[in-house]
Amino acid sequence: MFRRVVTVASLLLALPSCSQNGTAVTAGVPDLDAAGGVTAVIFRILDGDSFEAMLADGTIVEVRLLGINAPERDECYHEDAASALEKLMPGEIVLVSDAEETDRYGRLLSYALVADENVNLAMVTEGHAVALQSGHTLEPSFVDAANGAAVTGRGLWSATACGFASPLPAVQISEFEFDPPGRDADEPNREWVTFRNRGQERVDLEGWIVRDESTQHRFVFPSGAELAAGSSVTVRSGCGDPTPEDLYWCAGDPVWSNGGDTIIIQLPDGTVVDWERYAGTR
């Protein structure tokens, strides 16, 4: 299980120097060796998808696990994901990069291998992280694993992951438009997601969250938002005057990736109520 090793062309050649809690993160990651990776030792787990690793020469680099996104520090399941990552990487690892070498924060984007186990893949397989459809080499395997975790309710996809004890409200994603004609940024309100209450009771939506795969896009339902039994509400990506049928994210940029994304609706405590993953177009 999870046993797939990938060799790629290059690792990060330079990272900007920074300091976290007094620990220097220095520049200079050596080239790949003949086996296609760089050996490192875990220095510190930061969260469920990032950590600091020490290379053989003493260099410490911050690594962001490629192709996954774990809950943030202020989100439900954050500590569970971080703990799961720590257990998967007890000591020595091999870092293997892909087409993209760094993220926008200058962190090394990498697969992490322990023996012949891909840690990134293990995290999404067990439901500790969401799979990102970012075009990396192992994306199809990651998406399949993430779908399996969500369908079976493992990890963060579990109805009890955030402490919710009652049956979930019967609110579902019913329709969506992620790639309207023309430039998405020109008419963002033509990008939308519709949610329907398929239950028999009114549902108070105040504080509910709509999100994508990333850490950037979060919409919180405002005070007074509700869904009567059998009714629908559409959340549009642009700005506008809200009505009982239409709410506006006013995100400032397109929310839903044309290359593939995951639509997730959550209770205020972070419990996943429904999700829809689409492949999009490349």
**What residues are labeled active site?**
64, 72, 107
Burial of 86 (0-12, 13-18, 19+ CB in 10 A): middle
Reduced to 3 states (helix: H, G, I; strand: E, B; else coil), residue 82 is helix
Tokens (6 digits) for 50: 């990032």
- Please name the residue that has the structure tokens 């795969």: 213
Q: In whole angstroms, what separates CA 217 from the centre of its chain?
A: 11
269 secondary structure, DSSP code: T
Question: Which residues are within 8 A (CB) of 104 and not within 5 positions of it... i.e. 6 or more apart?
Answer: none
75 secondary structure, DSSP code: S
Burial of 211 (0-12, 13-18, 19+ CB in 10 A): buried
Nearest to 3 by CA among 155, 115, 153: 115
Alpha carbon of 169 to those of 221, 263, 272, 276: distances in Å? 15, 17, 11, 16
DSSP β-ladder status, 246-248 and 232-236 = parallel
What is the distance between the alpha carbons of residues 209 and 185, in angstroms, rounded to a whole number?
22
Residue 44 and residue 23 in contact, taking contact as beta carbons nearer than 8 Å: yes
H or E element in which residue 147 lies: helix 139-152
